[in-house]
Chain A
Amino acid sequence: MGFLHRNRGLSPYLLLAPGLLYLALFFLVPLGFLAYQSLQSGTFDVGYAFDWAWGNYWDAIRNYRGHFIRSLQYAGIATLLALLLGYPLAYWIAFRGGRWKNLLLLFIVAPFFVTYLIRTLAWETILADQGPVVGFLRDIGVLGSDGRVLATSTAVVAGITYNFFPFMALPLYVSLEQIDQRLIEAAQDLYASKWKAFLRVTLPLSLPGVVAGTLLTFIPAAGDFINAQLLGSPRTHMIGNVIQSKFLELTDYPAAASMSFVLMAAILLMVAIYARVVGTEKLTG
């Protein structure tokens, strides 16, 4: 104790140390290694060597541009869908949930006690061509008599939306739940309609939740490959599938590493634009 008393200035750093150490060890070091690997050339059989092979990046963009674009598209649509589905749900739980709030939140989280892979495989069964869901969609004419859901981009986007839904719904709930009800009452006292009170009071106050949810959904979704692999077809593969196959199947580490960096850059760019449009102060609330 004596030491900390005498060196008060040090204590914030000491408190930060475990977190910083963790980030340095498990984020910066691997990232640095990945960057090093992305500039190597060679083959798996003879080994890879570092030689500033910037061509890896050029190849990644030139050969897989379509996959990058598709990944950002799918992730964007899924994020939007999750927001449209999640906002009313979070709103309802926060303002009308009453004593059932915790139980209702548990319902959102409950499926996630099962692993990601199993949940996605379950959708493979639910959406099976000969299954009841697709049968019903055919009966009501949404799908043609020979139509299917699996192995289409719809299934991939729906899978991503489902799998990342809690990352959207929970931050939304937190920001909505914190809103002081009296502010809305005050707006209505001042003759704002319910709709106007929502637009001018509730929505702006919940923006931090919207921003957090959007980022938490969009970023992992853009790099996802499980949904495209299990629910998609070769035509709906995302950049994650290519990186996975380069890493694990072709064991072409430089190509996979450089693609990971291109993906990272693309996501950062999108996030920067988004933050610019929404306003950075909304990120932190």
Chain B
Amino acid sequence: MTNVLNRRELMRRAVAGSTLLTVPGILAACGGSSTESSGSDGDKTLAKTLRFSNWTYYIDVDEKTKKRPTLDMFKKKTGTTVRYIEDINDNSSYFGKIQGPLSRGQSIDRDLIVMTDNTRYPSLLIKKGWVEKLDKSAIPNIKNLQGALAHPNWDENRDYSLPWQSGMTGIAYNDKLTDPVLSMDDLLENPKLKGKITLLNEMGDAMSLVMLANGDDPAKVTDATFDKALKRIQKAVDSGQVRQFTGNDYTGPLAKGDLSACMAWSGDVVQLQPDNPNLHWNLAETGGDIWTDNMLIPKGANVYTASVYMNFVYDPKIAALIEAYINYICPVKGAREEMLKIDPSLAKNTLIFPTDKMLDNVVIFDAAALSNQKYLEAWQNLISA
């Protein structure tokens, strides 16, 4: 027996103490929104409940108790219960859902939401004035933000947003059902995979991978390269190769064996692996794309409480706990050192710490193309037609 705790055991112990506290917390969360204060500037009192919309497979979970350890720790530390809602499946439908109330100046009943920078939505939300400025006085840990992520062109000084995670888009496959699928050529054109693959419905993800396979540069999209990639995907749709376009919901069919292979985000497959050892994830041979998901505070939210939570997850110790479970790329400096204390073997995990070779092989999709109406329409017609 070794002395090293595995991460689940460690987290189990970490939560054990706070378990008792969470029962009233859950009850409070069930009580609905009556106790939740709506935001006002300068209000420095914590709300009883923080309403946090996130994607599936995107926070630490204790496999035994099904609780979320870091959220329990936040409750213990601040007294605020996090109502954690996994209702974001893809950026466009989530934006579609919230833009109605936001455009009418109504609250969407959330204090934190998470949107991806390889779509037009984070910048659109800021441009429309539908998100609040962070209360940076409550986020001293912002100093831990990775330098490379500090100045995105759509939010130069991170006044409105902080990264939640970064990740890469690649190919997942099930080795029980297919030989390794390592290239886009294989995924889109191998007749053995006909009807057994899905592509992502985010234009940035799907087009990046196909453009790279075409030998084009997704960081500088032109009409010609766009059309070429679009036609190639259209051909795969027409031939019946593509079963569906999906958001995060590819995980179900992939785990069940309905899919032999699919476009997938880097950390998800690792989380599926304990129950589905046949699943694998790789960057496509011709390369993938890298993106960052950003926490944003929608209008009408409790800015202070949301900012305090951001500060909490920018504590390297907390970031490490989340990271060790979800296997995405951490935006928090110092998390690596903390993670090595939890489990040195995690240092070898190339999904959390991509190798230089991997990083050379990923691109950031052209930001201008993301808000090009013509491209968006062509893309939407392709995936819904």
Does A250 contact B380, Cβ atoms closer than 8 Å? yes
Q: Which residues of A contact B124 (CB under 8 A)?
A: 45
In the complex, whether B237 has a CB less than 8 A from a CB of chain A is: yes
Complex partner residue of B243 from A67, A151, A237, CB under 8 angstroms: A151
In the complex, whether B92 has a CB less than 8 A from a CB of chain A is: yes
In the complex, whether A280 has a CB less than 8 A from a CB of chain B is: no
A-B contact count (CB 8 A): 73
Assembled-state Cα–Cα distance A284/B181 (Å): 60
In the complex, whether B371 has a CB less than 8 A from a CB of chain A is: yes
| Closest A residue to B127 using CB positions | A45
The A121-162 residues at the B interface (CB cut-off 8 A) are: 125, 128-131, 148, 150-151
Q: Mark A236-262, 1 if CB is under 8 A from B, else 0.
A: 010001101111111110000000000
CB distance from A239 to the nearest CB of B (A): 10
In the complex, whether B245 has a CB less than 8 A from a CB of chain A is: yes
Complex partner residue of A234 from B127, B245, B257, CB under 8 angstroms: B245
CB distance from A51 to the nearest CB of B (A): 18
The B76-109 residues at the A interface (CB cut-off 8 A) are: 92-93, 95-97, 99
In the complex, whether A62 has a CB less than 8 A from a CB of chain B is: no
CB distance from B8 to the nearest CB of A (A): 28
CB distance from B97 to the nearest CB of A (A): 7
Q: Taking A237-B384, A251-B99 as contacts, is the C-beta distance between A128 and B257 under 8 angstroms? A: yes
In the complex, whether B376 has a CB less than 8 A from a CB of chain A is: yes
Assembled-state Cα–Cα distance A148/B240 (Å): 12
| Closest A residue to B92 using CB positions | A249
Complex partner residue of B380 from A148, A233, A235, A249, CB under 8 angstroms: A249
Complex partner residue of B384 from A125, A148, A242, CB under 8 angstroms: A242
Does A234 contact B258, Cβ atoms closer than 8 Å? no
In the complex, whether B242 has a CB less than 8 A from a CB of chain A is: yes
CB distance from A177 to the nearest CB of B (A): 42
Assembled-state Cα–Cα distance A128/B196 (Å): 12
Q: Taking A241-B384, A248-B92 as contacts, is the C-beta distance between A235 and B237 under 8 angstroms? A: yes
The A77-132 residues at the B interface (CB cut-off 8 A) are: 125, 128-131
Q: Which residues of A contact B96 (CB under 8 A)?
A: 247-249, 251
In the complex, whether A43 has a CB less than 8 A from a CB of chain B is: yes
Q: Which residues of A contact B196 (CB under 8 A)?
A: 129
Q: Which residues of B contact A129 (CB under 8 A)?
A: 196, 256-258
Assembled-state Cα–Cα distance A248/B98 (Å): 10
Q: Which residues of A contact B240 (CB under 8 A)?
A: 233, 235
CB distance from A256 to the nearest CB of B (A): 11
In the complex, whether B238 has a CB less than 8 A from a CB of chain A is: yes
Does A234 contact B99, Cβ atoms closer than 8 Å? no
Q: Taking A242-B384, A248-B92, A249-B380 as contacts, is the C-beta distance between A233 and B242 under 8 angstroms? A: yes
Assembled-state Cα–Cα distance A248/B96 (Å): 4
Q: Taking A151-B244, A252-B377 as contacts, is the C-beta distance between A128 and B258 under 8 angstroms? A: yes
Q: Which residues of B contact A247 (CB under 8 A)?
A: 96
In the complex, whether B383 has a CB less than 8 A from a CB of chain A is: yes
Complex partner residue of A130 from B256, B371, B380, CB under 8 angstroms: B256
Assembled-state Cα–Cα distance A180/B381 (Å): 54
Complex partner residue of B195 from A128, A148, A248, CB under 8 angstroms: A148
Assembled-state Cα–Cα distance A190/B96 (Å): 65
Q: Which residues of A contact B93 (CB under 8 A)?
A: 248-249
In the complex, whether B385 has a CB less than 8 A from a CB of chain A is: yes
Assembled-state Cα–Cα distance A235/B383 (Å): 9
Does B256 contact A234, Cβ atoms closer than 8 Å? no
In the complex, whether B45 has a CB less than 8 A from a CB of chain A is: no
The B367-381 residues at the A interface (CB cut-off 8 A) are: 371, 373, 376-377, 380-381
Does B371 contact A45, Cβ atoms closer than 8 Å? yes
Q: Which residues of A contact B371 (CB under 8 A)?
A: 45
Q: Which residues of A contact B253 (CB under 8 A)?
A: 128
Which residue, B195, B237, B240, B371, has most C-beta atoms of chain A within 10 A? B195
Does A234 contact B384, Cβ atoms closer than 8 Å? yes
| Closest A residue to B239 using CB positions | A235
| Closest B residue to A67 using CB positions | B385
Complex partner residue of A233 from B95, B243, B257, B373, CB under 8 angstroms: B243
Q: Taking A45-B124, A250-B380 as contacts, is the C-beta distance between A233 and B195 under 8 angstroms? A: yes
Assembled-state Cα–Cα distance A281/B196 (Å): 50
Q: Mark B213-255, 1 if CB is under 8 A from A, else 0.
A: 0000000000000000000000001101011110000000100
Q: Which residues of B contact A244 (CB under 8 A)?
A: 384
Assembled-state Cα–Cα distance A148/B195 (Å): 9
CB distance from A236 to the nearest CB of B (A): 10
The B241-295 residues at the A interface (CB cut-off 8 A) are: 242-245, 253, 256-258
Does A250 contact B376, Cβ atoms closer than 8 Å? yes
The B333-385 residues at the A interface (CB cut-off 8 A) are: 371, 373, 376-377, 380-385
Q: Which residues of B contact A63 (CB under 8 A)?
A: 381
| Closest B residue to A240 using CB positions | B384
| Closest B residue to A43 using CB positions | B373
Assembled-state Cα–Cα distance A276/B237 (Å): 40
CB distance from B178 to the nearest CB of A (A): 12
Does B244 contact A233, Cβ atoms closer than 8 Å? yes
Complex partner residue of A151 from B99, B195, B384, CB under 8 angstroms: B195
Q: Which residues of A contact B376 (CB under 8 A)?
A: 250
Q: Which residues of B contact A242 (CB under 8 A)?
A: 384-385
Q: Which residues of B contact A248 (CB under 8 A)?
A: 92-93, 96-97
Mind listing 22 A-B residue pairs with CB under 8 Å? Answer: A45-B127, A67-B385, A128-B257, A128-B258, A129-B257, A129-B258, A130-B257, A150-B243, A151-B195, A233-B244, A234-B385, A235-B238, A237-B385, A242-B384, A242-B385, A244-B384, A246-B380, A247-B96, A248-B93, A250-B92, A251-B95, A251-B96
Seen from chain B, the residues whose Cβ lies within 8 Å of a Cβ on chain A are: 92-93, 95-97, 99, 124, 127, 195-196, 237-238, 240, 242-245, 253, 256-258, 371, 373, 376-377, 380-385
Give me the 5 closest cross-chain CB pairs, A-B, nearest first: A248-B96, A130-B257, A249-B92, A245-B384, A129-B258
